Chain A
Amino acid sequence: MSNAVQSQASNGSWSKRINLNALLIEGRALIALAIIIVTFSIMTPNFLQPDNLLIMTRHVAMNAILALGMLLVILNGGIDLSVGSTVGLSGVIAGYLLRGYDLPLTELIAYPPVWVVVLIACAAGMLIGYVNGILVSRFRVAPFIATLGMLYVARGFALLITNGETFTDLFGRPELGNTGFVSTLAGRPLGIPMPVWVMAAVAAAFSLLLTRTPFGRWLYATGSNSRAAELSGVPVKKVQTRIYILSGVCAGIVGVLLTADLPAATPRAGEFYELNAIAAVVIGGATLSGGRGTVRGTLIGAFVIGFLVDGLVLIGVSVFWQQVIKGAVIILAVALDQAQQRLQRRRGTARAQGSTPAPGPTSPSRPRHGEPAAQGSTR
C-alpha cells in the first residue's frame, strides 16, 4: 500500500491519470444528468428556457459550494455534518452585523461596511471548521461525532444570536455606508446570478488545489491510507485540520449568499443541507471511505440532484413522490457506480496477473485503493 502511495507521488503522468479516472468516475453521473435533462425538457418546454436554467443553476450553486467543501472532507475519509448549521450561523451573523450592534462599554452602535460583514460571516464558518478540524486531528474525535456535535452547537448559537427571530432589515442605509449587501450578493453580474459565479470560482480554486498542489496529493494519499501517508512524510494532521476549515468557509459563503438571496437571516436556514451536499459528492463518484472523488464529479452530482428536484416541481409531481424519486436516484447512482467499480477492478486484477504486478501509470485499476480486503469492509 505504501508502495502505491509512493509510486503516485513520484509519478510523472499524475494529471493524465486523474483525467482518465475522472472521466470513468463521472460517466454514470453524466449519464444521469443527461437523462434528467432530456426527460424533463420533453415533459415541459419550460425546463430548457434560459431564465429557468439560471434559476435552477442558482439553486444548484448553493448546494454545489457546500458539496465542494464536503468533497475535501470526504476525500480524507471524514464527513462534515455541521455545514447546514454553519450556513445558518454565518447568515445570522451577517444579518446581525448589518442591523448594527451595540459596542460593549460604550453607547455606540457599530455599522460595519458590507465587505467587513461578509468577511466576518465567512470567518465564523472558518472558525467552526477550525474547531471541527482540531477535534478530529488533535483530539481524535471521530469526524461523524465531532461534526454532529458542532451541528447542534452552531445551530444553538444561531438561535442565541437572533433570540429566535428572523432578521429582515438587511438593506443597510446610505448614511451609514452599509448598503449593497443584498444588491451585490443577490445581483446578476453579466446576467449570471452571484451564487453561480461563486460556485465557479470555488470549483476552479479547489480543482487547482487538488490536482496541482502538494496539498491535493497529500489529501488523496491520506484518504487512501492515512498510516501509509504519514509514514511517507505527509503532514496528516495539518491536512485534516485544513480541509475542515475549507469546508467551514464554504458553508460560511453559502450562508451569506442565502441570506442575501432571501433576503432574510433566519436561524433555521440551511437545515439538512449537509445531507444534500453529501449526496452530491457521492453521486459524483466519491467514496465515503476516502481517497476517491473529483471536483467535476461533485459539480455534476450537485446538478443531478438540483435539476432533478426542480424538474419534478416544474412538471408538477406530487410532493411525496418527489422525495421517493430523489432518494431512489441517489441510491441508483451510487449502486451503478459500485457495480462498475467492481468490474473495473476485476479487469485490472486480470490484467495485472497477465503482465507485471506493479501498478503502472497505464493500469486501468485505480492505484489509490486500499487492499481488496480493506475495501470490502469499508464499502
Chain B
Amino acid sequence: MLRRSLVAVTSMVMVAALAACGDDDGDGGDNGGEEGGGTIAIITVDPSNPYWKAEVDTAVAEAEALGYETTVNAHNNDPNQQNQFIDAAISSQVSAIILDPAGAQESVGAVRKATDAGIPVFLVNAEIDEQGIAKSQIISNNAQGATLGAEAWVEAMGGEGTFVELFGNPTDNNAQVRSDAYHAVISQYPDLVMLQRETANWDRQQGKEKMELLLRAHPDVDGVIAGNDEMALGAIQAIKEAGKMDDILVLGFDGNDEAAAAVAAGEMVATVLQPIVEGTTLAVQQADNYIRTGETGVPEEKQSINCVLITQENAGQLSGFRLAS
C-alpha cells in the first residue's frame, strides 16, 4: 500500500511537471541546440510559491528553446527528497541538473553524488557550502537586496518608531541572511525599536494569523519587516482588517506580482526583486555551454546577481519577476 501511495505521489509530481511544461509551448519553436539535446533535470523548492514557479517556468522555457527536454521536481526544502530526485536523475542519465538546493550543508552530498556520476550540476537561487563540486552557483545577492529594502523602509519610517518582524522558515539560510541584513541597516537608527519577532514560515496564512495577534499585543506598532512577500501580503491583509493600513509600513522581499500591485497601491512600502529569471536563464545557458563544450563559459563558479529595489516608482514595470525597461 505504501508503495501504491508512493506511486501516486510520483505520478502526481510527474503530471504536475508535465502541466508546468505545457504552459510554455511558445518558446519551444526555434531549435537552437547544435549538438546539445538530451534531458535537463530541474529540481526546485516549491512551485506553489510564485517565486519558484517563475524559476521553473524560466528554466523549462530556456532549456526547451535550446533544444532540451526537461523534467521538473520539487523537494520542498527536504534534503531527503532532494536526494531521491538526484538519484532518479542519475539513473535516467540526464545531461545536466539545474538545482535549487535544499540547504547549504545538506545539499553538498547530493551535488557530489551527481558530479561523481558524471552529471554536471548547476545551482540557482541558493548556494552550497563547498566550491569545486557544482559547475556553477548562481545566487541572488540576498544580503545586498535586504540592505536596499531596509534602507527604503527606514527612510519611509523617518528613522524612528516601533516594528515587528516576520521571519521566514528558520531552517532556511535565506531567512537568516535577510534578517541580518535588515537589522544591520536598522541598528544604525537607535530610535527604531523591534517589539517582537515571529516566524511565519514564508507562508501567507501564517503571516496573517501572526500579524493579527501581533496587532493585539502591540496596537501602536508602526512598521513590519517581512522576510518575503507572501508573509508581508498576509500581514497587510491583517492590517487592513484592523483598519490600520494608513499607520503601518510594510516591507516585503521577492518581488512577486501581487507584491508589486501592493507597492503600487501604497500598501507595501517596498519590496526587493530577486533576479530569479536572470539567474535561472544564466544557469541553463551555462549548462548548455558545458554540455556542448565542456566549459561553462564563465571564469567564476560562484556568481552573485544583485537584487533590484521595487518602490512605487517602478512597481508598475514589474511583471513575472521581470522588470520591463
Contacts and interface: CB of A to CB of B under 8 A. Distances in A.
A162 interface: yes
A164 B48 CA distance: 4
Interface string A142-177: 100100110011011001101111101000000000
B209 A59 contact: yes
Contacts of B198: 313, 319
Contacts of B216: 46, 49, 51-52, 55, 314
Contacts of B9: 152, 156
Interface residues of A, number: 41
A55 B19 contact: no
Interface in B222-262: 233-234, 237, 258
Interface string B168-200: 001000000000000000000000000011110
Contacts of B46: 268
Chain B binding surface, main DSSP class: helix
A31 B53 CA distance: 47
A32 interface: no
A39 interface: no
B210 interface: yes
B170 A269 contact: no
Contact of B16 (A141, A156, A165, A263): A156
Given A160-B16, A164-B47, A316-B217, A145 B1 contact: yes
Interface in B148-182: 167, 170
Contacts of B104: none
Contact of A153 (B8, B47, B205): B8
Given A46-B217, A310-B213, A166 B50 contact: yes
Given A163-B19, A164-B53, A145 B217 contact: no
Contacts of B19: 160, 163
Contact of B5 (A149, A162, A258): A149
B99 to A, nearest CB: 18
A165 B2 contact: no
Contacts of A261: 208
Interface majority SS on A: helix, strand, loop or mixed? helix
Nearest to B212: A55
A149 B8 contact: yes
B15 A263 contact: no
A168 to B, nearest CB: 6
Contacts of B233: 264
Nearest to A149: B5
Interface of B: 1-2, 4-5, 8-9, 12-13, 15-16, 19-20, 23, 46-48, 50, 53, 56, 167, 170, 196-199, 203-205, 208-210, 212-214, 216-217, 233-234, 237, 258
Given A55-B216, A268-B203, 7 more contacts: A44-B217, A159-B12, A166-B48, A166-B204, A262-B234, A266-B204, A316-B217
* Smallest CB-CB A-B distances: 7 pairs: A156-B12, A164-B47, A149-B5, A145-B1, A319-B199, A52-B216, A313-B213
Interface of A: 44, 46, 49, 51-52, 55-56, 59, 141-142, 145, 148-149, 152-153, 155-156, 159-160, 162-166, 168, 258, 261-264, 266-269, 310, 313-316, 319-320
12 contacts: A49-B216, A51-B216, A55-B216, A152-B8, A152-B9, A160-B12, A164-B16, A166-B204, A313-B198, A313-B213, A314-B213, A314-B217
